[in-house]
Amino acid sequence: MAQPRYQLGIDIGSTTAKLALLDENATLRFSTYRRHNAETINTLLAALNEARAQLGDIPLQLQITGSAGMGVSEVYEIPFIQEVVSSAEVVKRLYPDVKTLIDIGGEDAKMIFFHEKGVPDIRMNGSCAGGTGAFIDQMATLLNIPVAELNALAQKHEKVYPIASRCGVFAKTDVQNLLSRQISHEDIAASIFHAVALQVVATLSRGNDPTPKLLMCGGPLTFLPALRTAFMDVLKLDDDSILRAEHSELLPAMGAALSANGTSLHTTISDLIARLDNPPIHVFTGENRLAPLFKSKEDFERWEFTRNQNKAPRADIADADGEHVFLGVDSGSTTTKLVLTDVDGRVLFSHYTGNNGDAIGAVKNGLAKIRDLFRARENPPHIARTVVTGYGEDLIHAVFGFDMGMVETLAHFRAARAFDPDVSFILDIGGQDMKAIYVQDGHIQNIELNEACSSGCGSFIETFARSMGYSVADFAAKATTAQSPSDLGTRCTVFMNSKVKQSLREGASVNDISAGLAYSVIKNALHKVLKITNTDVLGDHILVQGGTFRNPAVHKAMETLLEKPVLCPDISELMGAYGAALTGRDEYLDTR
C-alpha cells in the first residue's frame, strides 16, 4: 500500500521562513517559524532536515508562498501561490465563521473581507511599511529594547499618545519628542502599537468596516498580545468578536499546504533537500550590478592606510595638568558625543554613546568619565569653556548650565576647517539626518538638509544589517570584498527592501547587497536630496563626517562616484563635538 502523501506549505516572508507540514487528515505534524536573515535556502534546509529527522523521508506535495518565496519558486521550480490567496484558502477551509482577516508580516499588511457570496475582498499595503513588523522593530530599536519587552511595557501603559506610523522617519521624531518629555516607556510602547493599528485600519479598510468574527494572524499579531489589544481598541471589538486560531503565525503556510493539488510539486523530503542543495546554474549577465569598491584585498588595505592618515591631533590628559581645556558636546537625536581639547586643539578625551532615550543621562555619563579622569590628577585641568550643539542643544544648555550653545552646522564647519582650511564641501550623514555645507572663500554659502526621507542616513544601513543578522561593522566589512555590488538605486527603505529581495533572487551575495547599499547612501545624498547634476559645484576639497562614514564602504563609494579624493577624519562621528570644543577655545582666546 502506498504511503500517504503529506502536504507541505512553505511561506518565506521578508524576514522569516515558516513551514507547515500536514498529514492526510490536515493535521499539523511539523511546523517551524524562524528568522532567515536573508539566508533563505540555508534556513529551509535546516528546517527540512529537522522534519526528516522527526518524520522520516516521507512523500510530499508542496507549494511555496510569501513575499520572498517567488524568488525561490523561480529558481528551484517549485509551484507558487499568492500569499493572500493561501490565507483566504485556510480561512475558508478551517475557519468559515471568520468575516475579516488581518495579517501583519515583516514588511506588509493585509486585510481580507469574506462575504457570504462572491470572491473575498483582498486589501494589501502599498509603498508604506508603517503598519508592519518592520516598523515595530524600528521603534523597539529606537527605545533600545527587544520587541518582546516592548509588548510587556505596553501591557502596563496608562495613556496613549499620537505617533505618526506612516513612516519610520516621522515616527522617530514623535518618539524622540515623547522621550524628551519624560513620557514613560510603557505609554510610548502602547502608543506605537496603537499607531500601527490605526495605520492598518485606515489604509486597508477603506469603506469596509471589519466585522466579527475577526481573525488576526502573522508573527507580530501572534507574538505581541498588546498589538492585538490595540487593534481591538481601535476597532471597538470585545473578546467574543475575535477568533483565536492555533498557530496563527503559520496561516499562509498552512493555506499553501491545503491548496496543494495536482499542480503542486510531488517529491520527498530528501529529494527536496537535494533540489535546494543543488541550485540550477545561474548565468550572471552583469545587469543591475556596479563596479566593485575595491579590486582586491591589497587594494583595500592600501586605501585604508591612506584613509587612516587623516587623524585629529591628540595628547594625553597628563599633558594638560593645570591648563585650561575646552569641552564640546554634540547632543544628537540618537547619540551623544563629548570631546575635550587643550588650547592647541589637541583631543584629550572623547566619548561616544547612544542616548537610549535619555539625552541628559548620556551627557551626565560622559561628564562623569571626565570627572574621574580629573580626580586621578594631582593638578587637574580647568575647563575654561563649555559649548553644546546638536538636536538637544537647548535642553543640555539649560540643564547643565553650559557657557554657550551653537548651531550644529557651524560646529561641523569649524571642525572641518581644522582638517582642511580650504574645504569646499562638507557632507555630514548621521543616523537620521543629513547636512550638506557648501563653502566658498572660507565662508558658508549654502546649507542643505534632508527632509522626510532617511534612506541616505546611517539608520538606513543599520536597519538592513540587523535584518540580515549582522552587526553594522561586520556588514560594512562584507562590502569591501564585494565583486559585483547590486545597483539598488535611490529609494526609500520600503522600496529598497523589494529591490534587495530581487537582487538576492538574482544570485547576489550579502557582500554585494552591503556594497550596493553603500552606493545607494551616496547616490541618495547627491541626487535625491541635493539634486546635484554637476559635481563640479562641490569643488576639490571635499570632506565627509558623521557616524555613517565610519563605514569605509560608504566613504569609498563617494570617492568612486565623484571620481575625486574625499577626506574623512578619523573622528568623523565626533566632528560636531570637536567643532564645539574648538569654538569654545577660539572664543576663550579672543577674550583673553
Three-state DSSP state, 379: coil
Other C-beta atoms lying within 10 Å of the C-beta of residue 308 = 11
Sign of torsion over alpha carbons 510, 515, 516, 517: positive
Distance in angstroms (rounded) separating the CA atoms of residues 251 and 156: 29
In what side-by-side order are the strands of the sheet with 335-341?
Answer: 347-354, 335-341, 324-331, 382-389, 404-405
C-alpha cell at 284: 550572471
Distance in angstroms (rounded) separating the CA atoms of residues 149 and 65: 30
Directed axis angle between helix 575-590 and helix 408-419, to 10°?
Answer: 90
Distance in angstroms (rounded) separating the CA atoms of residues 67 and 46: 20
Label the pairing between strands 121-124 and 265-268: unpaired
Given a cut of 50, the residues of the chain with pLDDT beneath it are: 1, 282-285, 494
Please tell me the number of Cα atoms within 13 Å of 559 on its side-chain side.
17
**589: enclosing H helix or E strand:** helix 575-590
C-alpha cell at 562: 565623484
Judge contact between 430 and 458, C-beta under 8 A: yes
pLDDT in tens, 445-477: 999 887 555 555 666 677 778 767 788 889 999
Peptide bond into 213 cis (omega under 30): yes
| All structural domains of the chain | 1-81+259-282 (3.30.420), 92-246 (3.30.420.40), 297-309+426-566 (3.30.420.40), 317-420+577-591 (3.30.420.40)
- Whole-model pTM? 0.66
